[in-house]
Amino acid sequence: MLPHQPVNPRLNDAAQISDFNADSASALIKPPLSELGDQIAQVMSDMPFAQLCQMRFALEDGQMVGRIDNHAGLIGNLHFKILHGGVAATLLDTIGGLTSMFEIYRRDIGTFDEQRQRVQRIATTDLRIDYLAPGRGTAFVATAEIIRMGRKGCTTRMLLVNQDGTLIAHGMASYTYRTYAKRINFCVS
C-alpha cells in the first residue's frame, strides 16, 4: 500500500473538506452570495482529484464554470490525442454538483445552517453523458444550468466545449441533498 500524500496540504482532514467555511457557519451569518460561490468553487478546485486532473472552478458572472487544459495525462486515445471520456464525465459531473450547491444558496430557502447541510450532503444519483464530438482541443470549459430543483434534490444540464466553442459533450445529472433524520439499520440473520 502506498502512503497517501494529499495534493493540497490544506486538506489533510476530511472535516476541512466537508466544512469549507467553519468561521462563517459557526456564526450562522450568511456571507454575500458571490463570496459563497467563490468559496465553494475554491473547495472543489482544492479537491485532490480535481488537482490531479488540474481542474479549476470559479464563479464567473453569476455562473459556475469549470476549466481544464489538455495535457498528456488526460489523453484517452494516443493516436488521435483526444481527451479521455472519463475526464469529460468527471468535469461535467463536478460542475453540475457545484452549480447545484450554488443554487441552494441562491434560492435562499431555509436557514443558512440548513443550506450548508444540504450543500455538504450533495451526491450524484444519476449521470448521463452524450459524447458529441472527439475531445480535441487545448482547453475545455464546462457549464451547467438547473433544470429542476426540489426539496430533496435537483437535476442539471451540463455542456463541455473546447477553446473554439465546439460542443464536445452534453450531460444530464440528478443530485440528492436530502437530510435524513434517522438512519435505518438492516440486519440479516
pLDDT tens readout for residues 114-152: 999 999 999 999 999 999 999 999 999 999 999 999 989
Average pLDDT over residues 55-75: 96
pLDDT tens-place string over residues 100-114: 999 999 999 889 999
Domain-by-domain residue ranges, the chain?
9-176
Q: How far apart are CA 130 and CA 189, in angstroms?
A: 43
pLDDT of residue 29: 86
Residues forming a β-bridge with 101: none
Neighbours of 33 (CB within 10 A): 14
Q: How far apart are CA 112 and CA 33, in angstroms?
A: 11
Q: Which residue has the higher pLDDT, 170 or 26?
A: 170
Q: How far apart are CA 62 and CA 102, in angstroms?
A: 9
pLDDT of residue 27: 53
> With 70 as the cut, is the pLDDT of residue 180 above it?
no
In contact, 57 and 44? CB cutoff 8 Å? yes
CATH for the stretch 9-176:
3.10.129.10
pLDDT above 70 covers a percentage of the chain that reads 79
Give the 3-state secondary structure of residue 128: strand
pLDDT tens-place string over residues 22-51: 444 455 688 999 999 999 999 999 999 999
> With 50 as the cut, is the pLDDT of residue 166 above it?
yes
pLDDT of residue 185: 58
Q: What pTM did the predictor assign?
A: 0.80
